[in-house]
Amino acid sequence: MSHFHHLKSIKFKLNLLNLRNLDAFNLPGEFFIRYYIVTGTGKRIRVDSQVLPSMSSLELKAGSNTITELLEKRSIIFELRWRKPKPMFKCFAKSKLLGKAEVSWKDIVRPDGAPMERWISFVIACQGVSLDVKPPALLVRIEASLSESIMEKSLRRSEIGKHEECGCRDCQWIGSEEDLFYAAATALDIV
């Protein structure tokens, strides 16, 4: 038995261009941006920038309901973070959250996929910072487009009752956990 269903996908490209108004933080070490892309099912993909400017891209494919939920309820969460200078014998130093910002998917997805540049202001998340100074801001260039395709899928009796998109019973992500890891690792390689 086979049937057709619609798959929507979001192609997403993000460039972190500039960071300003860091005067409030007089800290030695390095600043970096961490952002989370929340999928329609609530899974979070974490990407850390090493330096500015940086670029990453990702494509999410899912069923119509999942993409609709993503556009209506989900967002991209940006964090401004700081890390002390790396000690000689310790590879990984912990980072500290300095500010947080959120951008809704529905504000950035455009039908024509045209790039958009936008300053995103952070809400300061740490103690001891004067509220009289301008909050830190991040300049981003975002290209996000929505496309739709029709896919034929053959169903066996054992697949009835499973989600149409991926064949499992508990998510709507297309692909396996390895695909999720590969997408995140690819995004990190680009950075």
More confident residue, 102 or 59: 102
Closest to 33 measured CA to CA, from 75, 77, 74: 77
Alpha helix locations (H) across 13-86? 64-73
Say how many residues make up the chain: 191
CB half-sphere exposure, 163, CA atoms < 13 A: 18
Query: Model confidence at 164, in pLDDT bands (50, 70, 90)?
Result: low
CA distance 56 to 58: 7
Give the pLDDT of residue 31: 85
- pLDDT tens for residues 15-28? 888 888 887 777 88
Q: What is the rounded average pLDDT of the residues 76-100?
A: 80
Q: What is the pLDDT of residues 106-158, one digit of tens each?
A: 888 877 778 889 999 999 887 766 667 788 999 998 887 777 665 555 445 44
Mean pLDDT over all residues of the chain? Answer: 73
Q: Tell me the CATH number for domain 2-190.
A: 2.60.40.150
The domain segmentation of the chain, as residue ranges, is 2-190
pLDDT given at position 104: 87
**Confidence band (pLDDT; 50, 70, 90) for 170?**
low
